[in-house]
Amino acid sequence: PALVSLKNVSKTFANGTVALRDMSLDISRGDFVSLLGPSGCGKSTALRIIAGLGDASSGSLAWPVRSPVDDKSGTGGPNQDISFVFQEPTLMPWASVFSNVYLPLRLKGLSRTAAREDVMDALQMVGLESSAGSYPRELSGGMKMRVSIARALVTKPKLLLMDEPFAALDEITRFKLNNDLLHLWEKFGWTVIFVTHSVFESVYLSNRIIVMAARPGRVVQDIAVDAPYPRE
Ligand code: ADP
Ligand code: ADP
């Protein structure tokens, strides 16, 4: 059974822009799906509709868990079932790495002490346990992105949505993060929807690539990827 299901979803914005036309999609538990396509083809719009951050103009979204509140904090708000990672790491600059990752659990009402183990586990996943006391300004772009990922994972979400998360990073950092993300996914088996315009990333990371075309945004291919590359 699908974890998330879009049926004939269309989206027309108030200014008349048709961002999506008739998009249907079933995401299964454990999928690592890439949404691949040129800028403006509706990838972010589709992701926002799945997350409940935007409404479809027509069609339906079947989704067994609730939607997150409409915020851009990257924490998924009080709904712990979905986490969102954005291209720009939206960290609180005045708070330590520990506090940034703790935020979603704090919103959930957990004390710092009660959350400590989960926060440190999440930091360990991304290799930053020794930076818990650092501040965002002391970190590289890649490290900030790791903190954002740790913050997204700390609540153990059912669905991880990533909107071009690595686009702002240099190529080497990006490659390292791709590898780390892949290893984490292989180990923990989350369900991930990963928006990218990189063919490389989509082929390397996902087990399924959904190719979208613009004007108006629609799905043109839905490709199963059977681990084409040997991974170390
Ligand atoms: P992608 O993520 O693939 O780059 P988007 O989903 O961001 O594409 O955008 C799809 C189309 O919808 C684009 O033409 C974009 O300009 C338009 N669009 C996105 N958001 C809005 C908005 N709030 N109002 C009007 N048009 C929008
Ligand atoms: P702020 O209150 O400005 O967010 P911090 O998040 O750095 O500042 O610290 C708030 C409190 O949390 C302080 O008492 C600090 O000692 C404690 N703290 C900071 N980092 C950690 C950590 N890694 N583990 C446990 N407690 C921490």
How many contiguous H segments (helices) and E segments (strands) does the chain have?
6, 9
Question: If you measure from the C-alpha of residue 42 to the centroid of ligand 1, how many angstroms do you get, rounded to a whole number?
Answer: 6
Listed residue (211, 163, 218, 210) closest to 18, CA to CA = 218
How far, in Å, is the centroid of ligand 2 from the Cα of 96?
A: 6
Q: Map residue 101 onto helix, strand or coil.
A: helix
For ligand 1, atom 12, the nearest C-alpha belongs to 19
Interface pTM, i.e. ipTM:
0.63
Provide the pLDDT for residue 64: 55
Considering every ligand atom, which ligand is closest to the CA of 14?
1
The structure's pTM equals: 0.80
Of all protein residues, the one whose alpha carbon is nearest to atom 24 of ligand 2 is 98
42 lines ligand 1 (CB under 6 A): yes
Write out pLDDT tens, residues 69-128.
433 344 333 445 788 898 887 899 999 999 999 999 999 899 999 999 999 999 998 889
- Residue ranges in the chain whose pLDDT is less than 50: 65-79
Ligand 2 in contact with 133 (CB < 6 A)?
yes
HEC letters along 208-225: EEEEEECCCCEEEEEEEC
